[in-house]
Amino acid sequence: MLQIDLISIFPDYLTPLNLSLLGKAQERSLIKIAIHDLRDQTKDVHHSVDDTPYGGGAGMVMSPEPWGKAIDAITNEKDQVDLIILTPAGKRFNQQMAMEFSKKSHLIFACGRYEGIDARVGQYYAGKNNFKVHEVSIGDYVLGGGEVAAMVIIEASTRLIPGVLGNPESLKEESHSISSDDLILVEYPNYTKPANWRGIDVPEVLLSGNHGQIAKWRLEQAERRTNQLKQE
């Protein structure tokens, strides 16, 4: 069972995690998701979680103290933890990372807001031998916070856990689409009934029943699409 904890100042923003595939995966005890409010770790009347940056500059930085308390409250020394800090300055998330995260036992997502979390939080936990810290970005754009990024990573990673997908065959096909040089091919185009829709026919080969020809056509299409994307 994969334990997933998320820490955020907007816990309600993360409620879609209880729907659909992830909701079912929790019911089947394949994963367990817990959402924590960072403000629960503050004592002042305003429940403040940020402060002005040392060195000056615009915006606010999230204070290390509530983060340390929140992470300590959900871990112990025996626990092997992967702490994922969402930041546009992190390593770009991809399918290979999803595969890696899907095999872990305890993921903690630190969803920062404002100008990010005090850098010592990552540094402190990286120095503990039961922690591995990953700074991750989901793309070259700046979101308002890490919540949506965490949901993207959780959705991509958990569907790779055996039993989470209703039809495991679809995973097999995806893994087949990794070519010899480890390049991940995008999927070939898909069609369903009717065979003619608004004057457009489904490609003939897909109606042929010739599985060899179909597989060859699909691979060609996937390669063509992948090359096209690379050139854009």
CB of 31 to ligand ADE, least distance (A): 21
Beta-bridge partner residues of 61:
51
- Total residues at the site for ligand ADE (CB under 6 A)? 11
CB of 87 to ligand ADE, least distance (A): 5
Establish if 143 lies at the interface with ligand ADE (CB under 6 A).
yes
Q: Which is nearer to ligand ADE, 7 or 222 (CB)?
A: 7
Establish if 149 lies at the interface with ligand ADE (CB under 6 A).
yes
Establish if 203 lies at the interface with ligand ADE (CB under 6 A).
no
Task: Say if residues 133 and 85 touch (Cβ distance below 8 Å).
Answer: yes
Burial class from Cβ neighbours inside 10 Å (0-12, 13-18, 19+) for residue 217 reads middle
Instruction: Pick one of 16, 57, 139, 168: the residue that binds ligand ADE (CB under 6 A).
Output: 139
Binding span for ligand ADE by CB under 6 A among 6-14, 34-42, 83-91, 194-202:
83-91
Establish if 6 lies at the interface with ligand ADE (CB under 6 A).
no
Spatial CA neighbour of 72 closest among 105, 35, 118, 41: 41
Establish if 60 lies at the interface with ligand ADE (CB under 6 A).
no
Phi, psi of 7 (to 5 degrees): -120, 130
Establish if 87 lies at the interface with ligand ADE (CB under 6 A).
yes
Cα torsion 73, 86, 226, 183 to 10°: value is -60
Angle between helices 147-158 and 95-102 (to 10 degrees): 70
Binding site for ligand ADE (CB under 6 A): 86-88, 137-139, 141-143, 146, 149
